[in-house]
Amino acid sequence: MSAPLRLVLASHLASPVAPTGAERSLALLAAHLAQRGHQVTVLVPGAWVLGREVREAGAQVVMVPSRPCWLTYWERRPWPVVAWKALRCWWGQRAVRRLEGAMAALAPQVVLVNCLPHLVAVQAAGRAGLPVLWHLREILPPGRRRRWWGRRIAASGAACVAVSQAVRAWVVEEVPALEVDVVYNGVQIPPTVPEPAQARPILGLPEDGVWVGYLGQLAPHKGVELFLAAAARTGGGELHFLVAGPGTPQQQRRVRARAAGVPGGCVVLAPRPEVGEFIAACDVVVVPTLTPDPAPRVVIEAMAAGRVVVGAACGGIPELIQDGTTGVLLRETSAAALAAALVGLARGAERRRQLGAAARARAAAHFALARHVDEMETLLRRCAADAANRLPAQ
């Protein structure tokens, strides 16, 4: 039996209410590595809603204030916004020393840095002389910013693992000599398919009808407004709509105003730490992202629950969904195309059942949490062994 590892897992976010998919993935990995006997410490920048469950699994959670480098967006931004983000990234470098001190005190064999924006954690580990496994979960467009990030990755000396082939593709295009492994997110497969009739009353929803859910950030690039525009085109009837996710106060007001214009209404619920009840309440889950999404966790979670997923055919989503077999890929990201797909699914209960069953089988075969933890544990051991082999002989 292999010896347990001393590990630090560094998160760039610490959501107090509704964690992102990247945070949920990191928390599950930390918990299951700890349950396997590894000594795991998670470094977070603030109070974290997932901290309690991570601690209960046997891992340590330590707060070290830091700030992400948010130069990782896809869409174009006005130059003052870009300049402000660059300035905040530069100002955030002050956290390197704090993180370096925390890592040096913990003396891990490997530091896993979650997400590209956590540049300061990579730099801190480098200054402390610790090997890094950088978990990349972003897709960047070609251009100056992507080249800048490519240089940061190459200079870091970190081993890299991507959350999808779509993420790996841009990284190796910028850094051709870099070996980048791909490990998909892992989810817990429910022992049985959740019943909507049990979940809907918990959320205050009627039990009847075909419910279509958008579960994610309320940011425009995630496609929430496209979802609401498509909902307005369906004309109500048997279809009912649900939106749940975190957003700024302005985004929340805008979503609620648009939801009020959906025939038959659209229920907007406050975000929660877990999305299981939201998914269970839905017959169809829509992921209509307008920019290449690396590998949205909600897609796999919905598949594992036996739900039909309608996802935009961009980024890593086509790696998760087999169009027409385990879900529906939206080749045209328009309100009309999405509305037509939803109306068709509403009329085909047997097709929804077949797609959901196939999606659940695919999730169990390819995206089960145990498989994810196995693959990540193998990479972490490899990083530790490579670092140990580089040490001079005593």
Encode pLDDT of 96-105 as tens digits: 999 999 999 9
Residue 229: predicted pLDDT: 95
DSSP state of 368: B
Residue 265: predicted pLDDT: 82
Tell which phi-psi region holds residue 264, choosing left (phi > 0), alpha (psi between -120 and 50) or beta.
left
Encode pLDDT of 16-69 as tens digits: 988 999 999 999 999 999 999 999 999 999 999 999 999 999 999 999 999 999
Q: Where are the alpha helices (DSSP H) in 130-266?
A: 144-156, 165-174, 196-202, 224-233, 249-259
CB proximity list for 53: less than 8 A, separation 6 or greater? 27, 31
pLDDT band at 389 (very low <50, low <70, confident <90, very high): confident
The percent of the chain in helix, strand and coil, each rounded to the nearest 5, is: 45, 15, 35
Encode pLDDT of 137-178 as tens digits: 999 999 999 999 999 999 999 999 999 999 999 999 999 999
Residue 284: predicted pLDDT: 97
Q: Quick one: which of 52, 90, 91, 68 has its CA closest to 11?
A: 68
Encode pLDDT of 73-128 as tens digits: 998 889 898 899 999 898 889 999 999 999 999 999 999 999 999 999 999 999 99
Confidence (pTM): 0.95
Average pLDDT rounded to a whole number, residues 362-372: 97
361, pLDDT greater than 70: yes
Beta bridge partners of 225: none
DSSP state of 16: S
Rounded Cα gap, residues 386 and 275, in angstroms: 38
Rounded Cα gap, residues 198 and 202, in angstroms: 7
Rounded Cα gap, residues 251 and 225, in angstroms: 10
pLDDT band at 392 (very low <50, low <70, confident <90, very high): low
**Could you tell me if 120 and 93 are in contact, meaning their C-beta atoms sit under 8 angstroms apart?**
yes
CB proximity list for 191: less than 8 A, separation 6 or greater? none
pLDDT band at 393 (very low <50, low <70, confident <90, very high): low
Q: What is the mean pLDDT of the chain?
A: 94
Matching residue, tokens 């979650």: 114
394, pLDDT greater than 60: no
Residue-range domains of the chain with CATH: 6-186+368-390 (3.40.50.2000), 196-366 (3.40.50.2000)
User: 3-state SS of 204-224?
Assistant: CCCCCCEEEEEECCCCHHHCH
**Could you tell me if 269 and 203 are in contact, meaning their C-beta atoms sit under 8 angstroms apart?**
yes
Matching residue, tokens 């082939």: 165
Average pLDDT rounded to a whole number, residues 271-292: 93
Count of alpha carbons within 13 angstroms of residue 57, beta-carbon side:
23
